[in-house]
Amino acid sequence: MALDTEQSARQPASRPVLNRRRSVTVRLPVWPRRSIRARLQLSHLFTSLVPLITLGFALLYTSAQAERRIFEQTQASVAGSLARDLTDEMDERQADLQDFGRIVPLRSPDRNAIKSATREFLNRQYPDMVELAVLDLQGNELARVNQERTYFDNQLINRIEDPFFAVVMQGLAHFNVTDAYNGQRVIQLAVPARNGIGQVTGAVVAQFSGQPTEQDLAAVPIDTGRSAFIMDANGNALLGNAPEALTGTRDLREWAATKAAVATLRDSYGAQVTAARAPIQHGSWSVVIEQPTEIAFGNSRQNTYLLALVLVGTGVFVGVWAVLLARELTRPILQLRDAVQNLGSGHLGGTIAVARDDELGDLANEFNGMSERLAESQRAIEQRNTRLSEGLSLARVIQRDLLPHGPPPVPTVSAQAASEPATEIGGDFYTYVALPDGRLRLVIGDASGKGVAAALVMALTSSLVEIHARQEAGPADLLMRLNSELYPRFSTSHMCVALLVAEFDPEAQRICVANAGMIAPLVASSAACSYMSSYGPPLGVVDNVQYDETTIVLEPEQAVIFISDGIVEARDAENEMWGFGNLESTVCSAADNGPTAIVAEVLSALKRHVRDTPPTDDMTIIAASLSVQSKGDDAYALVPSADHLHSAVKSAADRLP
For the stretch 431-490, pLDDT in tens is: 999 998 889 999 999 988 777 888 888 888 988 998 998 988 899 999 999 999 999 988
Q: How far is 613 from 577, CA to CA, in rounded Å? A: 12
- Whether residue 606 is contained in a domain is answered as yes
Q: How far is 82 from 224, CA to CA, in rounded Å? A: 13
- Whether residue 366 is contained in a domain is answered as no
Label residue 347 left, alpha or beta by phi (over 0 means left) and psi (-120 to 50 means alpha): beta
Q: How far is 636 from 595, CA to CA, in rounded Å? A: 10
pLDDT at 647: 43
**406 pLDDT band (50/70/90 cuts)?**
confident
What are the strands of the beta sheet with 174-179, ordered from one edge? 141-146, 129-135, 200-209, 185-194, 174-179
Q: How far is 387 from 38, CA to CA, in rounded Å? A: 52
CATH number of domain containing 146: 3.30.450.20
For the chain, give the longest Cα–Cα distance. 124
Average pLDDT, rounded, for the chain: 81
For residue 604, how many other CB atoms are within 10 A of its CB?
22
For residue 146, how many other CB atoms are within 10 A of its CB?
18
The neighbouring-strand residues paired with 41 are none
- Whether residue 476 is contained in a domain is answered as yes
Q: Determine the Cα angle at 132 with ends 127 and 138, to 5°.
A: 170
Which of 209, 233, 253 represents a domain boundary (last residue)? Answer: 209
Contact between 640 and 396 (Cβ < 8 Å)? no
- Whether residue 203 is contained in a domain is answered as yes
**521 pLDDT band (50/70/90 cuts)?**
very high
Which of 209, 232, 260 represents a domain boundary (last residue)? Answer: 209
Which residue intervals of 289-422 are DSSP H helices? 293-296, 298-344, 359-402
**328 pLDDT band (50/70/90 cuts)?**
low
- DSSP conformation class of 486: H
- Whether residue 255 is contained in a domain is answered as no
Q: What share of the chain is helix, strand, coil (3-state, %, to 5)?
A: 45, 20, 35
Is the model's pLDDT at 636 over the cut of 80? no
Is the model's pLDDT at 20 over the cut of 60? no
Using alpha carbons only, how large is the chain's radius of gyration in Å?
46
Domain range enclosing 470: 403-655
Is the model's pLDDT at 519 over the cut of 90? yes
- Whether residue 39 is contained in a domain is answered as no
Domain count, the chain: 2
What are the helix and strand counts (H, E) for the chain?
16, 20
Write out the DSSP string of 602-632. Answer: HHHHHHHHHTTPPPSS-EEEEEEES-SS-TT
**327 pLDDT band (50/70/90 cuts)?**
low
Which of 209, 230, 252 represents a domain boundary (last residue)? Answer: 209
- Whether residue 331 is contained in a domain is answered as no
Q: How far is 389 from 386, CA to CA, in rounded Å? A: 5
Contact between 640 and 403 (Cβ < 8 Å)? yes
CATH number of domain containing 644: 3.60.40.10
- Whether pTM > 0.75 for this model: the answer is no
Q: How far is 205 from 146, CA to CA, in rounded Å? A: 12
pLDDT digits (tens, 9 = 90+) for 156-205: 999 999 999 999 999 999 988 887 766 778 888 999 999 888 899 999 99
Burial profile 208-222: b = 16 or more Cβ within 10 angstroms, e = fewer: bbbeebbebbeebee
- Whether residue 628 is contained in a domain is answered as yes
Residues whose CB falls within 8 Å of the CB of residue 295, separated by 6 or more in sequence, listed in order: 226
